[in-house]
Amino acid sequence: MVPVSESAQVQSASVSPNSPAAPGSRSGRADPSASLAERFPGLVCDLDGVVYRGAQAVPHAVDSLDAAIAAGARVVYATNNASRPPAVVADTLRGLGLAAGADDVLTSSIAGARTVAARLSAGATVLAIGGAGVADALTAAGLRVVRPTEVRALAGAEDDARTSEDAPVGAVLQGYGPEVTAADLAEAAYAIQGGATWVVTNDDLTLPTDRGVAPGNGSLVGAVRVAVGVDPVVVGKPGPLLYELAAETLGTDPEHTLGIGDRLETDIAGAHAAGMSALHVLTGVHGPAELVRAEPALRPRFVAADLRALGAPYIEPSRRLDGSWMVGDQVATGRGSGAEFAVRFDGGAAADDWIVRLRLALCILWEAQDAGKLSGDEAVAALPERR
């Protein structure tokens, strides 16, 4: 959470000079009574852990997004999940009660297909590894799609059985799919060794499921990497491309576009890479312990319990000249060092508001870590207890 002062006060050490949310941005000087949806007309929203968990909507997500849209904001749902086409994702969102169409969904397959199309001529042959979303995105980008089974069949054919359409594979687009096999990965490796450009939709090592944690696309990419000895072009989060495409779809510039997510190293990093501010919600993967340990580049400007923050006034913490931090009439001060470090909260109507206390504590604890006053473990121990 990058703090922004409403007066000419000392800038926090937690603010990166390259941060899109550094003090002085027009968004940072917005009316403090305005909601985030009013301050940011474009919202780029992650799905897993933010809008839904498995087949269930995250509490308050649907109502909050509906209210933001009613207030004039536009929403694009951006996901690293490459396996499903946008229309299928939109069906899921409508089933939860959101008014979403295929044009409101951007997947890492779309970003991957755009990247491949920019490197090859129209109609070039691309090997699609992964779910239906990968092949559909390539076809929409004007490329000829082949599947691993087709390539295997062709490899066993006699030369005189080949046709003019049996062109060499110019690129491999690798995304996640639950049915991907070792034989599919082998075909990807053979094509890459033969000179094909290798693009992957994301390199997430794990995939949360309702039964536990499964290997993600990054694990499958790792298997191919070992075989070919080269690194792929990665287009999904935490890279900026998915967010840049979202801003293009929304018609907003980065300064007025808010990235929303629950994972620091993908959602928050991706928004920052595209020059956007980020809202981290505590409904998914990363909680306060991960937030307080985050390196400066991964610290979100905004932190909230859930998406209800979109419709509520958001007063950002400001650093006072005496080193304390404040939100409204709630003041927090850091004292001590190492295992003895503590955050003290004083007065105000927000004294019992845990999320406000967390925002203040994060600013203090980030600053103390940056100054070498305490370790990550010590910062976690100093977080306010949830009430």
Known catalytic residues are 46, 48
Alpha-carbon distance of 331 to 318, in angstroms, equals 10
CB distance 380 to 289 below 8 Å:
yes
pLDDT digits (tens, 9 = 90+) for 161-197: 443 355 689 999 999 999 999 999 999 999 999 999 9
Task: Answer yes or no: is 263 within a domain.
Answer: yes
pLDDT at 27 over 80: no
Q: Give the phi and the psi of residue 86 in degrees, each rounded to 5.
A: -55, -35
Predicted pLDDT at 349: 53
Q: Are residues 117 and 196 in the same domain?
A: yes
Predicted pLDDT at 10: 37
Predicted pLDDT at 263: 94
Q: Are residues 247 and 218 in the same domain?
A: no
Domain boundary among 212, 234, 256: 234
Predicted pLDDT at 166: 55
Task: Answer yes or no: is 363 within a domain.
Answer: yes
Q: Are residues 226 and 148 in the same domain?
A: yes
Alpha-carbon distance of 132 to 262, in angstroms, equals 26
Q: Are residues 184 and 121 in the same domain?
A: yes
How large is the average pLDDT for residues 351-374? 93
pLDDT at 148 over 80: yes
Tokens of 319: 């650093």
pLDDT at 17 over 80: no
How large is the average pLDDT for residues 14-23? 35
Task: Answer yes or no: is 101 within a domain.
Answer: no
Q: Are residues 247 and 192 in the same domain?
A: no
Task: Answer yes or no: is 91 within a domain.
Answer: no
Predicted pLDDT at 307: 98
Task: Answer yes or no: is 118 within a domain.
Answer: yes
Q: What is the pLDDT confidence band of residue 264, given thresholds at 50, 70 and 90?
A: very high
Task: Answer yes or no: is 99 within a domain.
Answer: no
Domain boundary among 281, 314, 347: 314
pLDDT at 340 over 90: yes
Q: Are residues 128 and 196 in the same domain?
A: yes
pLDDT digits (tens, 9 = 90+) for 273-332: 999 999 999 999 999 999 999 999 999 999 999 999 999 999 999 999 999 999 988 999
What mean pLDDT is reported for the chain? 89
pLDDT at 25 over 90: no
Helix H segments across the chain?
36-39, 61-70, 86-96, 108-119, 132-140, 148-155, 182-193, 217-228, 241-250, 269-273, 288-293, 354-370, 376-381
Task: Answer yes or no: is 117 within a domain.
Answer: yes
Higher pLDDT, 16 or 72: 72
Domain boundary among 314, 340, 363: 314
pLDDT at 41 over 80: yes
> Looking at residue 256, what DSSP letter applies?
G
Structural domain harbouring 304: 1-12+34-80+237-314
pLDDT at 11 over 60: no
CATH number where 283 lies: 3.40.50.1000
Q: What is the pLDDT confidence band of residue 350, given thresholds at 50, 70 and 90?
A: low
Q: What is the pLDDT confidence band of residue 30, given thresholds at 50, 70 and 90?
A: low
Q: Are residues 241 and 198 in the same domain?
A: no
pLDDT above 90: percentage of residues in the chain: 79
Task: Answer yes or no: is 214 within a domain.
Answer: yes
How large is the average pLDDT for residues 367-386? 95
Predicted pLDDT at 291: 98
User: In 3D, which of 2, 7, 4 has the Cα closest to residue 23?
Assistant: 4
Q: Are residues 124 and 216 in the same domain?
A: yes
